[in-house]
Structures are given as C-alpha cells and as structure tokens.
Amino acid sequence: MNILINSFSTKYNTAPFSKIKIEDYVPAITKGIQLTRAEIDAIVANPEKPTFENTIEALEFAGQSLDRITSIFFNLNSAETSDEMQKIAQEVSPMLTELSNDITLNTALFEKIKVVYDQKDSLTLTTEQAMLLDKKFKNFSRNGALLADDKKVRLREIDTELAKLKLTFGENVLAETNAYELHITNEDDLKGLPEGTIEGARSLAKSHEKEGWIFTLDIPSYLPFVTYAENRELRKELSIAYGKKAFQNNEFDNQQNVLKIANLRHERANLLGYKTHADFVLEERMAQNPEKVKSFLNDLLVKAKPAAEREFQQLTNFAKKLDNIDHLEKWDGSYYSEKLKQELFNLDDEKLKPYFKLQNVQNGAFTIANKLFGLTFTEVFDIDKYHEDVHTFEVSDADGNLVAIFYSDFFPRKGKRNGAWMTSFKPQYVKEGINERPHVSIVCNFTKPTETKPSLLTFNEVTTLFHEFGHALHGMLANTTYPSLSGTSVYWDFVELPSQVMENWCYEPEALALFAHHYETGEIIPQEYVDKIKESANFLEGMATLRQLSFGLLDMAFHSNNPSDITDVKAFEKATMEHTSLYPDVAENCMSVSFSHIFQGGYSSGYYSYKWAEVLDADAFAYFQEKGIFNKEVADKFKDFVLSQGGTDQPMTLYKKFRGQEPKPEALLKRAGLI
C-alpha cells in the first residue's frame, strides 16, 4: 500500500516521513495526476451553468492530494536529496508540467471560467473571491488559453524543457558544491580562524577518514574561512573555487543552461503577447513593469554608489596600511571588512557568538512572536520528521487553539542545498467549514555543534534565522479561505516584507535582552555590544547596497531584453555589472551560472524585490518604533492586515490598511545611513 496516496493517519495529518519509501514517489505522483485529471474532467462535464462555486472554487480545490505529495517530494529534494531523488525529480517534472499545461490549455475549462469572469460585476463576491476569480482567469490567459492550437503545442514544449533545465541547473550547482574540498594538513594555514571553525573542519576531516582539516563551499565552512584566514593564497583558492561553480567547462557547466533558460523564457513571453519575460512577470507584481524596476534600481544606485566608492577607498587604504596590499581582490573583501569593523567598533563575530547560542536565538524568535502575536511554541516528539536534525513544534494562540505545525532544520549536510528558506508541507485553507492549519518549515545552514561547543551563530546568522522566521509567521498566521491565496502566496515583491521586517528586532536592546545570553555564564549581552551592533548596522552599507543592486540589474539584463544576442555568459555579466563593480574581475569566475535565485528558483525578473521590500520594511518598522517595538495595537494591525491576509487583496491596499499611508523610501535611506 502506497503511504502517500491516501490522507495520512498521523497526528494533525502531518507527513509520515519515516514511512515513505523512495519507490513510493513515482506511483503516488502518477496516481495524484490521474485523480487531478478526473477532478478537472468532472468540472468540464458538469451540465449546469458555470458558477463561481461549481467552476472557480471547484478548480481551486482540484489536485489537492497531488499538491500534498509534490510538496513533500520537492521540499525533501531541496533539504534531503540523493541521486535517486534527483532522478525521480527529472522523471516527474515533465509529467507535472504536462498536467499543468493540459489544465491551462483546456479550452472547454477556460470557456467555463470565462463565463464566470465575464459576469464578475454582477456577482456578489467577497474581496477574496474576486481575487481568486481574477487569479484563475489570468492564470489561464497568461499561460496560453487564448493561443491558437499550434502555439499551444510550442508553449507545452517550452514549459517541459524549462522545467528540466531548471532542475539540471540546480543539480549542477549542488554537484559542484559537493565536489570541492580544501584539505589542509599544515596547522600554520589555519592562522586567524576561529576555534569553532577549526573544530568543525577537523571533525569533517575525521568523518572523511583524513588527517588535518577540511573546508568546503558550504557557507558555514566557506564564509568563516574567507573572513578570518590570514593565508591570502588559500583565501584566493577557496574564493575562486566558490565563484567558478558550474563554470568549468565540465559535465556540470551551466553556461548553456543559462542561455537556453533565458531564450526560452523570452520566446514564451513573445508567444503570449509580451515584449519580454520581465514584462510578463511584472504584470503580476507591485512594480508593474521593467521600466519602473530599472528606474527604482538605478535611482538607488545613484544614491548608494558615492557611499560605496568612499567605503571601498576606506577599505583599500586600510588594507594598504595593515598589510601593504596595493589592490583589493574579491578574496580580500570579507577579510579586511571584518578587520576594519573590529578596529572601528572593536566588535567581531567571535565576541558576539557566545551570546547567540542557536537554541536561545530560536527561543528568542518564539518569545518575540508571543509578545507581538500571542503565539506559543511547544516542542513535541510525536510528529514524524525526515532527519534527526529536524525539530517539531505545535504552535498555539492565546486561547490554546492550534495555529500551525512548525519544523526547524538548521544544519548543513550532503543532501541539502546551500542557503536558507521557508517552505510548507501543507497550506492553510477553509474547506467544509474546517479551518485547516498549515505545516510550515524553515531550513538553514548554520554551524553544527561540536564536541565542546553548542551551535553558536554569527550576528548575520541571527538575522537570517529571524528573516526565515518572518516568512514562517506569514505562513503560520494565514487565515484565508483558499489555499492559492494563503500565507506567502502573495505578489513576489510583497513576500519579503514579513521576513525583512522581523530582522529589525535583532537590533533592538529590548528584544536582544530576551535571548542574547552568554551560553556559559548566562550573562545578558553587554549594552556596549548592543550599541556597537546598532552602530555597525550601517557598516559598509553602501557596498552592500551596490552588491544587491548589481544582482537585481543582472536579473533585469537577462530578462527585460531579447537575450538571443548573448553568446558569452561571462562577457555579458561583466559588461552588465561594470557600473556596480568595485573589485577587479576574476577571469575564472562567473556568478550567473550559479545564480540559483533567478535560474532555478522563482526570482527571475524579481530579484529587485529584496530592495523593494526593504523600503516597505523600513517604513513598517518605523511605525513600530513610533509606538513601541512590542506595541500590541501595531502588532495586531500587522497580523490582521498583512500576515493573515495572504494574497486576498492588492498588496498596496493591505499595506495602507496597516500603515495608513503608502511606504516612503526615505525610511530605508535614513536607516541605511545613505541620507
């Protein structure tokens, strides 16, 4: 009996991870596709006049069992993959793309949707129902329902090929990350490295049955090395290895994949009547069109570049004074930034880390969520998990009602991709009068505990945890009727508001006092450190802003123009980033080929949204600061009008209900010290 096919007889209907066998996935997905097709056929065959209920709502809840299976599979393919999982992903992705196309290109189904859509003004729909109707209609019209048959055939071919290319792109990056190791046997080469980093590298070498120390391209290993290692040649080696992932003219090279993806996206957009892929994407974003995005990015660039150039000069002078280095290279950036930060603020991560034990930081996030939104997190041990590193929590409200199930997964391992993300195994929705609560997960790559030390976070990792936790709150506090409008199912340039706003509490003494306690002595983080964290928050902010803008502009360069003239990915990238580059180019490196956000994830034509959301979050947090960072009235408004609403209304409408006005960019520029 395939465990995945029926509803699970588990507590809260949680995923029965330990009972799922690798051979269960393909039959379960195949069966899920069959069930979905039957549900669609039933909508089409219904002889009654199309209505919102029998067409739009029926379509919304079609395919739920398949969605459940695929969310489990693809989440694990990111967090706990294997060669077999990757093979299955390559096998099922075309099947799922074909199903998606069969639905959106189903003429009879679209005709029924159009009947309902054409009479929307005479229907008495709630705001949420009107949004759902609009979303369903656009999902069809924007994905080929109005195309001639020959063009529909081509659209299917493009979508199938894109699905495979995106998977291959990600697999190549992961393979290259896993293939490299820096094996050190001379203890002198470890000079400058923190004790915990050395210990982690030693235990990794032990697990590989090797002498000495092993460093990898996983962020908890890579970042401390390039930040602290005194050996410049080894920093260079590791930095170049990191920058040439999938750019080595071998079987894992992504250059052709980048060009194919960009060109197929452009062709697809043209087929659907749009000038470029960016025009297609941005129609469904707060930003609306490529011109507005480029104007937004370039406007910030004008304001940030003078500050960035001053900072770079300051860093260059500092490196010259300290080590007689004439020209800063990319592998010097983190190293001298950290040294300069220590000199200016007498503050380094090694001083701060003892106050940021992972367990305490997580509990701090829970406490802040309790003070703001009345949530309580209780760890439970009777909910199945997919790896021993995962922890499970029941989340309840002030009245003791279940709000969500929360999973946390914090340490790197071979089968887990780099980075940090929030996801869900089950969305929130209301069906047959029952408010189904969500199952939400955050996945990160923090330093593992060692034999002598617990997991201690850098301040950057603290803000990462709060960032992903903000996304998780958006998922957990969802309170909508329809799953496709629930939680983080919002316009892409609105989705980062809850995550980025949560980071602000990491800088507030009142919040830090709740969780920043020394892991050995229990002492609260000294006020002078808190002051320095706040002071140093804008340290090299111009350079950091320039870096983010460079990624956003690169994304737009690939997607807001016809990419058919691009023959050399590296040359194109270099030319595009010329105005935002401070360091000399590294010939062996190319960022585009491992730019997973835009070529594997969902950020194509959307990378600007990180900066866009910073404008929203700076403005939103300014409201909290005006009233008090734990002010219940502001927190309730944020919960009621942003976190619980998902995509049930236009983002700007929701934001203005919360804030009483449109966001002002000045709040961001002021916070960043750029004005």
Q: Which domains does the chain have, with CATH numbers?
A: 11-104+106-142 (1.20.1050.40), 179-228 (no CATH), 354-473+485-540+610-671 (1.10.1370.40)
Active site residue 176: no
- For residues 25-34, give the mean pLDDT: 96
Here the tokens at position 668 are 């961001």
- For residues 326-340, give the mean pLDDT: 96
pLDDT at site 5: 73
- What is d(CA 281, CA 104) in angstroms, rounded to the nearest whole number? 17
- For residues 479-500, give the mean pLDDT: 95
pLDDT at site 675: 73
Q: β-pairing, 402-409 with 439-443? A: parallel
Give the tens place of pLDDT for each residue, 395-451. Answer: 999 999 999 999 999 999 989 988 899 999 999 999 999 999 999 999 999 988 988
pLDDT class of 535 with cuts at 50, 70, 90: confident
The single residue listed with the structure tokens 């709630």 is: 126
CB neighbours of 237 closer than 8 A, spacing ≥ 6?
A: 182
E strand or H helix that includes residue 423: strand 421-426
Question: Concatenated DSSP letters for 628-658?
Answer: -TT-HHHHHHHIIIIITTTTSS-HHHHHHHH
CA-CA-CA-CA torsion sign (649, 652, 657, 659): positive
pLDDT class of 4 with cuts at 50, 70, 90: confident
Which three-class secondary structure string do you get for 569-589?
HHHHHHHHCHHHCCCCCCCCC
SS3 225: helix
**Helix/strand/coil percent split, the chain, to 5:** 60, 5, 35
- For residues 536-553, give the mean pLDDT: 94
- What is d(CA 251, CA 180) in angstroms, rounded to the nearest whole number? 15
pLDDT at site 349: 84
Neighbours of 55 (CB within 10 A): 24
| Contact call for residues 602 and 483 (beta carbons, < 8 A) | no
Here the tokens at position 353 are 């880390």
pLDDT at site 87: 95
pLDDT at site 350: 86
- For residues 562-580, give the mean pLDDT: 97
Cα angle 442-24-21, degrees, rounded to a multiple of 5: 65
Give the tens place of pLDDT for each residue, 500-531. Answer: 999 999 999 999 999 999 999 999 999 999 99
- Integer-rounded Cα radius of gyration of the chain: 25
Give the tens place of pLDDT for each residue, 295-310. Answer: 999 999 998 999 999 9
Picking from 450, 449, 458, 456, the residue whose alpha carbon sits closest to that of residue 518 is 456
Q: Is 540 left (phi over 0), alpha (psi -120 to 50) or beta?
A: left
pLDDT at 568 over 60: yes
pLDDT at 7 over 90: no
The single residue listed with the structure tokens 């803000």 is: 463
Choose the catalytic residue: 80, 468, 503, 614. Answer: 468
Least confident range from 126-130, 346-350, 644-648: namely: 346-350
pLDDT at site 520: 96
Q: If 0-12 CB within 10 Å is exposed, 13-18 middle and 19+ buried, where does residue 392 land?
A: buried
pLDDT class of 661 with cuts at 50, 70, 90: very high
pLDDT at site 2: 77
pLDDT at 1 over 60: no
pLDDT at site 373: 98
pLDDT at site 450: 85
pLDDT at 325 over 80: yes
- What is d(CA 314, CA 307) in angstroms, rounded to the nearest whole number? 11
| Contact call for residues 145 and 104 (beta carbons, < 8 A) | yes
Neighbours of 104 (CB within 10 A): 20
Question: Concatenated DSSP letters for 336-360?
Answer: HHHHHHHHHHS--HHHHGGG-BHHH
**pTM of the predicted model, to two decimals?**
0.85
pLDDT at 667 over 90: no
pLDDT at site 664: 83
- In the chain, pLDDT over 90 holds for what percent of residues? 90
**DSSP tally for the chain: helices H, then strands E:** 27, 9
Here the tokens at position 596 are 């997973």
E strand or H helix that includes residue 28: helix 25-45
pLDDT class of 22 with cuts at 50, 70, 90: very high
- What is d(CA 69, CA 15) in angstroms, rounded to the nearest whole number? 9
- What is d(CA 207, CA 451) in angstroms, rounded to the nearest whole number? 14
Give the tens place of pLDDT for each residue, 173-213. Answer: 999 999 999 999 999 999 999 998 999 999 999 999 999 99
- For residues 656-661, give the mean pLDDT: 96
- In the chain, pLDDT over 70 holds for what percent of residues? 100
pLDDT at site 537: 87
| Contact call for residues 594 and 254 (beta carbons, < 8 A) | yes
pLDDT, averaged across the chain: 95
- What is d(CA 142, CA 100) in angstroms, rounded to the nearest whole number? 13
- What is d(CA 606, CA 11) in angstroms, rounded to the nearest whole number? 38
Picking from 613, 595, 612, the residue whose alpha carbon sits closest to that of residue 603 is 595
Give the tens place of pLDDT for each residue, 120-172. Answer: 999 999 999 999 999 999 999 998 999 999 999 999 999 999 999 999 999 99
Cα angle 600-78-101, degrees, rounded to a multiple of 5: 50
